[in-house]
């Protein structure tokens, strides 16, 4: 079996997607919401939730002190799993976006209600 060149693999990931939202799809929390993840050393890591039916009215589910991107992603993944369990069976559509500082890392569905 012939090995795939790195460019072909990268192109496949870009075309097929990684399961996370594109940068233009990320919500922008209002200034007052950032206080939930503000620490003396700067803005930390947080999972921001937004009800799809009420754009612009989101909230931070969790927050932690400034961390590396890898630590932040791991923290957000744990919170996503918890939130998905909490929302299971409810008729709401909620998206969660993982932020490190004010930089969005990725989004994931927390609930896909009707």
Q: Could you read off the pLDDT of 76-111 as tens digits, one per residue?
A: 999 999 999 999 998 999 999 999 999 999 999 999
Torsion-angle region of residue 49: left (phi > 0), alpha (psi -120 to 50) or beta? beta
Mean pLDDT taken over the chain:
81
Model confidence pLDDT, tens digit, residues 24-62:
578 889 899 999 999 998 999 999 999 988 887 899 998
Distance CA 53, CA 36 (A): 23
pLDDT at 15: 31
What's the whole-model pTM score? 0.75
Residue 114 binned pLDDT confidence (cut-offs 50, 70, 90): low
pLDDT at 98: 97
Residue ranges of the domains in the chain? Answer: 19-112
Residue 7 pLDDT > 60: no
């Amino acid at each position: 079996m012939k090995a795939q060149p790195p460019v072909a693999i990268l192109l496949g990931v870009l075309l097929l997607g990684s399961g996370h939202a594109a940068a233009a799809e990320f919500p922008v929390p209002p200034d007052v919401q950032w206080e939930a993840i503000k620490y003396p050393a700067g803005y930390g890591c947080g999972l921001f939730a937004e009800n799809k039916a009420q754009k612009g009215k989101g909230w931070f589910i969790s927050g932690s002190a400034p961390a590396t991107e890898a630590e932040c992603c791991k923290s957000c993944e744990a919170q996503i799993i918890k939130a998905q369990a909490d929302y299971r069976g409810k008729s709401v559509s909620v998206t969660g976006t993982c932020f490190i500082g004010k930089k969005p890392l990725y989004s994931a569905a927390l609930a896909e209600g009707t």
